[in-house]
Chain A
């Protein structure tokens, strides 16, 4: 334990540094997101061994590789259920998902809806650059109508998904939007999201400097405004939905919605005895086993 407490004493942003060199393009919004995440974890007093950062596939999903922290880089679209399994096996861990808009809202759309509905205490940070970047520039579920890409050469026909609105409607406990260009503000949002019990979404405006020539740093900074400055009460669901729908000339950032929920894991009968990872494999005991058998005779 002395070893562990020695580790505890030295917590700083450097605690989360490793020697991996990110493969992200120079100027990529993911750098800001990673900086904000590290700062948030430090301000929360969470050490690298106490957190699990789960991702899917894509540029942003390589983030756990560039941090000294527990992580799991899974398959395309599935980090939310992987994270759910980790949290339900060991609720003492802080569990964070970082993935892109394709992962979170496209292929993982079903898991997104059900994560919001189920409200396991997970923080979901979506690096939303409105494009598929690692596959070299196809449109994503959040791309604006008319956006021209290699798979939408005449412009995107579909209306874009409004992830904040969908999260609120599906039952998420906490919904916020941040910007990769404002890591300090973003880190405050992530801090609050991690503290808030239940499923928390932090959708992040994250410019892709290589493939998205429309939604650039300038494009976002000309449009974003802090929702807190309007006097918005995030507990007001109707007002939150109005902000969640707002997109175009003005884009709100900040805490859009929050409500108190009992996280799923706190109501699970199987966790009353504590985290399953903390118990021995034979804790069932012979007597319980014999009682189980007896009910089959």
Chain B
């Protein structure tokens, strides 16, 4: 059981709420779910869709092909014919002039239904999206009661009448679709009774949850797709969590506020996307120079410049590795799954405080915005470590003489204390400074301070995790990837292995500083190494080769703003790379 349903229509027709509602209804029935939004940079009009993949086994990425499309418009009914599996279907309103023969030619079943009439008879044309979800569930044979509960929760606050018309629309279309199209439809979904209750969460939410669990109590940000939901999630819970959230006037203010809050002793972060990250870079250098720990989240989107505002890419890696002028220490993490987003949420603060430097967390639109089911144990309070490194608490400061903020230490890390205590009075400068923080241009002090700061990178390297190797050790092919490509790459490896090419995945979540050491299975392997990345130039491939000295045999690169799918990887490897190497 592994079925993907796509709901599609114009922006403003409730595509996303239909998709998330459908995801929740399937998750509550015990299924593993992956839900991915695909939308354009506009508020109304233009075709959006939402893909929901459901399975009885864990799924870590979207599916290509899909099995059923529920279309609100003629355009949506035609749009993804190429991506629909033979035997699949398209549900659409019977009044729409859909080219049925084109569908049939591809082995896809046209499923015209009175969706608009159902919506109107229920009481509102606006329930079209609910009617479409009801119909889709009817076609795949899934019961309606989970979706009914979702409707009740979503519309309950707006009154019984609103709940009733939505329930009516869902029921009518579910009945109609299940009797007319359900019996012959080959792709079925059914409840799994007794399954553990799972969370349905996206990468941005998981990252925010991890951050607050790890003690983050300050978030300043400027809204920028696809990072905005991090600020929104925390702002909505600010009172309950006791977290300061500021909608800053721009990204420069956002990162400077976070640095100020951290200087005062708070765990502070900011979240943005590529263009905003560019604006923040000078302040990232500032935090590194003054040794103020901050966490900067870059939820990447297509670039350069405004690029593809609502779409995904992994092309900010080199910028994240070199985000400001001068030489300075900092760390870059690139979580690959929602579980890793949660972990990066708290772990980034431990690293930032331990090394008193900026930590950049690279996510992307795909990872940040896609919903996935995870078991309750995946995010565990007891798994969260809150390590402030050499941060000095007031009780130690009471008896400490001669505090020097930038005291010379072999590790490069000087004990740090928040301001406010009588013994910690200091004023760090972004100019070069001495051990007390005073401005200096002395040759010897400059050299010593530079070396002190940069030594942190050697120390930090010990805390950087090596790559994870998924799949068989004795592979013929190794897919080298980082960040959100983990899910599609692992699934592609399973397919390639099943087709006779034993394939594994070498996935990096800690990307800077990058350890030159690779797992023994990899260094002793004579497999062909192929990078899989979501950018034009193979940014990670270059960093990987430069650091490990291991030469890659090829690359699967995608830069059209759509996330690479398992099928993309398999087809590309079978077509191009395998022939070349």
Q: Do A and B truly interact?
A: yes
| Contact (Cβ within 8 A) B200 A288 | no
| Contact (Cβ within 8 A) A89 B264 | yes
A108 CB → nearest B CB, Å = 9
Contacts A281-B388, A296-B201 hold; do A88 and B428 have CB atoms under 8 A apart?
no
Q: Does A53 lie at the interface of the complex (its beta carbon under 8 Å from any beta carbon of B)?
A: yes
Q: Kindly state the separation between the CA atoms of A146 and B438 in the bound complex, as whole angstroms.
A: 39
| Contact (Cβ within 8 A) B260 A86 | yes
Q: In the complex, what residues of B have CB within 8 A of residue A273's CB?
A: 242
Q: Does A192 lie at the interface of the complex (its beta carbon under 8 Å from any beta carbon of B)?
A: no
Contacts A3-B398, A296-B199 hold; do A47 and B244 have CB atoms under 8 A apart?
no
Question: 1/0 per position for B267-299, CB-CB distance to A under 8 A?
Answer: 110000000000000110110001000000000
> Could you tell me which residues of chain A, from 102 to 121, have a CB within 8 Å of some CB in chain B?
110-111, 113-114
Q: In the complex, what residues of B have CB within 8 A of residue A73's CB?
A: 427-431, 439
| Contact (Cβ within 8 A) A289 B381 | yes
Q: In the complex, what residues of A have CB within 8 A of residue B241's CB?
A: 270, 284, 288
Contacts A111-B249, A277-B420 hold; do A270 and B238 have CB atoms under 8 A apart?
yes
| Contact (Cβ within 8 A) A85 B439 | no
> Could you tell me which residues of chain A, from 55 to 72, have a CB within 8 Å of some CB in chain B?
57, 62, 64-65, 67-72
**Chain B residue with the shortest CB-CB distance to A78:** B256
Q: Does A50 lie at the interface of the complex (its beta carbon under 8 Å from any beta carbon of B)?
A: yes
Q: In the complex, what residues of B have CB within 8 A of residue A68's CB?
A: 425
Q: Does A83 lie at the interface of the complex (its beta carbon under 8 Å from any beta carbon of B)?
A: yes
A270 CB → nearest B CB, Å = 4
Q: In the complex, what residues of B have CB within 8 A of residue A114's CB?
A: 249, 253
B324 CB → nearest A CB, Å = 10
Q: Kindly state the separation between the CA atoms of A124 and B283 in the bound complex, as whole angstroms.
A: 21
Question: 1/0 per position for A280-297, CB-CB distance to B under 8 A?
Answer: 111110101110110011
Question: 1/0 per position for B292-310, CB-CB distance to A under 8 A?
Answer: 0000000000000000000
Contacts A83-B260, A110-B249, A289-B381 hold; do A75 and B242 have CB atoms under 8 A apart?
no
Contacts A64-B427, A68-B425, A288-B241 hold; do A50 and B214 have CB atoms under 8 A apart?
no
Q: In the complex, what residues of A have CB within 8 A of residue B199's CB?
A: 293, 296-297
B217 CB → nearest A CB, Å = 4
| Contact (Cβ within 8 A) A78 B252 | yes
Q: Does A157 lie at the interface of the complex (its beta carbon under 8 Å from any beta carbon of B)?
A: no
Contacts A114-B249, A297-B197 hold; do A82 and B427 have CB atoms under 8 A apart?
no
Q: In the complex, what residues of A have CB within 8 A of residue B244's CB?
A: 88-89, 268, 270-271, 276
> Could you tell me which residues of chain A, from 238 to 297, have a CB within 8 Å of some CB in chain B?
268-274, 276-277, 279-284, 286, 288-290, 292-293, 296-297
| Contact (Cβ within 8 A) B419 A289 | no
Q: In the complex, what residues of A have CB within 8 A of residue B422's CB?
A: 3-4, 7, 47, 49
Q: Kindly state the separation between the CA atoms of A80 and B218 in the bound complex, as whole angstroms.
A: 17
Interface residue count on the B side (C-beta < 8 Å): 73
Q: Does B85 lie at the interface of the complex (its beta carbon under 8 Å from any beta carbon of A)?
A: no
| Contact (Cβ within 8 A) A78 B246 | no
Question: 1/0 per position for B234-275, CB-CB distance to A under 8 A?
Answer: 000111111111101110111011111111111110000000
Contacts A281-B214, A284-B213 hold; do A85 and B419 have CB atoms under 8 A apart?
no
| Contact (Cβ within 8 A) A81 B420 | no
B94 CB → nearest A CB, Å = 37
Q: Does B421 lie at the interface of the complex (its beta carbon under 8 Å from any beta carbon of A)?
A: yes
Q: Does B379 lie at the interface of the complex (its beta carbon under 8 Å from any beta carbon of A)?
A: yes
| Contact (Cβ within 8 A) A90 B267 | no
CB-contact partner of B258 in A85, A279, A289, under 8 A: A85
**Chain A residue with the shortest CB-CB distance to B200:** A296
Q: Kindly state the separation between the CA atoms of A57 and B500 in the bound complex, as whole angstroms.
A: 63
Q: Does A227 lie at the interface of the complex (its beta carbon under 8 Å from any beta carbon of B)?
A: no
Q: Kindly state the separation between the CA atoms of A49 and B403 in the bound complex, as whole angstroms.
A: 13
Q: Does A36 lie at the interface of the complex (its beta carbon under 8 Å from any beta carbon of B)?
A: no
| Contact (Cβ within 8 A) B239 A90 | no
Chain A residues within 8 Å of B, Cβ to Cβ: 3-4, 7, 20, 47-50, 52-54, 57, 62, 64-65, 67-75, 78, 80-90, 92-93, 110-111, 113-114, 268-274, 276-277, 279-284, 286, 288-290, 292-293, 296-297
Can you give 17 A-B contacts (C-beta < 8 A)? A3-B423, A20-B438, A49-B422, A49-B425, A53-B427, A65-B439, A70-B424, A72-B263, A81-B254, A270-B217, A270-B241, A276-B244, A282-B215, A284-B212, A292-B212, A296-B201, A297-B198
Q: Which 10 A-B pairs have the closest CB atoms?
A: A85-B260, A281-B215, A71-B427, A269-B239, A276-B217, A81-B256, A85-B257, A89-B261, A277-B265, A73-B429
